[in-house]
Structure 1
Amino acid sequence: MKRHPFAFDFGFSGLTKWFYGPWQHERTALQTVGDAATDRLDEPAGSEASALRSDTVRLLESSLSTDHIATLWRAASNQGHSTPYFGTDARDWLRQIVEVCDEKLRTLRLTAEATPLRSELWAQTEPVLREISLVRDKLSLTTDSTRHMDPTGSVAEALDEVVITVNPDLGFRLFLRVLNTYGTPITEGQYVRFEALGERFGYGEFHVVDVEWLTHQR
């Protein structure tokens, strides 16, 4: 599997970390998107903006309902930058993210290009769905600490839809983010399988390790 040029989480899932709520930053929402779309040390020019744009366009053009997109954003960001509060819906928010990425790429004199999903990515669909199914009950059970992120208990269903209809790679990355925000306990065996999936998706060395702390929550 071709490796991504990022040591940490990236793209749309990586953006949710920048808004981890409650979101109270001095930077505006769009400035924060611009920060997330800025390349880090030793990354190829435009790689962060391209990855974020690619994920966002796929979600925007997908068959996912706007409510499911909003659920994924709330759950992965811990209600950071709640779109209803800011007077926009989830698809409007996606369009704004794409515009920021396009401007970033124009500044770098690069052209946004759609990249087809490799067949080996789709081969990971069933393994990712199995991992989601193992914690479905925990993700679907709304508690006092998670109700503000997913009041309908539909985040597992939304994750399944991303994996099946959008991109299993993005679905897995969002799954890891949701586990983090929910603080969902996982076993050592689950973590080992997450690492194996991360290898197959070509993640960087500090990506999957972000959920290692959940093995100590049982």
Structure 2
Amino acid sequence: MDLPDGEPRNRPRPGKAAPFMFGLPWLMSFFHQDAYHDGPTPTAVVKYHFVEDLAPETVLLVRRDAQRLAAGLDAGRIDAIWRTCTDSGPNFYRRDGAADSTGWMRHIVGLCDVWLSRAPSGAALAEADLHEGWELADRVRAVLGETRGDLPPEVGDALEEAVDTCTPDLAFRLLVRALPNAPHSQPYFTITGEQYASLTELAAAFDYGEYALEDLDAVFDG
């Protein structure tokens, strides 16, 4: 995808007014099979994408998501989500000394703090970014119900719990990240038109940008 002249390719516009996905799902997108071209360890990959001129809101959103997962879910739940949303093996966390996925979330928070300590003072999230979507919780659960068969059971359980213990907003964004990356039993996995419509309508209700569901476009059977 072409970006405007002068726009760094790894610098997203932050927040829910942005055209693309944001927060922890944005960071997860860099942990693919070629991630270690960006650095030899998970920490190095994060630092590679935390470029100097990144908008502070981008890092603040990653930090908030990582904090919410660490506080809201146990390590097994977080591990199920992380490994489905990324291309990460069983020894992923130990590469940087984290005992488990909770430790990795806390480590990400620390990396965010280091970056933010060098950012201009006074950086804060806009009102739209602070929207947690509690009034949409039932709709998120309904979409999870429609797509549970396309997710590993442990991931579906973790995301359902995250609706209440994290936020509906975070649970939905993680679902959007998980669906095209989950190990599917079908040779050619697709999102049905009904599923895609539900996901699109909910993304609009959360006021996400127009390309927030971009990863799902490739598996949309429409």
Give the shorter-chain TM-score range: 0.7 to 0.9
Q: Equivalent pairs: percent with the same residue?
A: 29
Measured against aligned partners, the alpha-carbon deviations of 1:129-180 in whole angstroms (never above 9, x if no partner) come to 111112223323xxxxxxxxxxxx4110001111121011111111011111
Give the 3 Å change call, closer, same or farther, for CA 102–90 of structure 1 in structure 2. Answer: same
Q: Which of 64, 67, 73 lines up with 1:54 in the alignment?
A: 64
Aligned partner of 1:66 in structure 2 is 75
Q: Which of 27, 30, 37 lines up with 1:15 in the alignment?
A: 27
Deviation at 1:100, TM superposition (A): 1.0
Q: Distance in 2 between matches of 1:81 and 1:60?
A: 19
For structure 2, the residue ranges without an aligned partner over 5 or more in a row are 1-14
RMSD (Å) for aligned C-alpha atoms? 2.7
In structure 1, what residue type is equivalent to 2:113?
D
Matched position secondary structure for 1:131: helix
Query: Within 5 Å, which residues of 2 pair with 1:194-209?
Result: 194-209=199-214
**Partners of 1:37 and 1:48 within 8 A in 2:** no
Q: Distance in 2 between matches of 1:34 and 1:160?
A: 31
Q: Which of 141, 144, 148 lines up with 1:132 in the alignment?
A: 144
Measured against aligned partners, the alpha-carbon deviations of 1:49-108 in whole angstroms (never above 9, x if no partner) come to 10100111111122x111110110000113268535525311111111111111111111
In structure 1, what residue type is equivalent to 2:74?
S
Aligned partner of 1:30 in structure 2 is 43
Deviation at 1:32, TM superposition (A): 2.0
For structure 1, the residue ranges without an aligned partner over 5 or more in a row are 141-152
Aligned partner of 1:146 in structure 2 is none
Matched pairs, number: 198
Aligned partner of 1:188 in structure 2 is 193
Aligned partner of 1:76 in structure 2 is 85
Q: Which of 98, 103, 127 lines up with 2:114 in the alignment?
A: 103
Aligned partner of 1:143 in structure 2 is none
**Partners of 1:34 and 1:101 within 8 A in 2:** no
**Partners of 1:128 and 1:168 within 8 A in 2:** yes
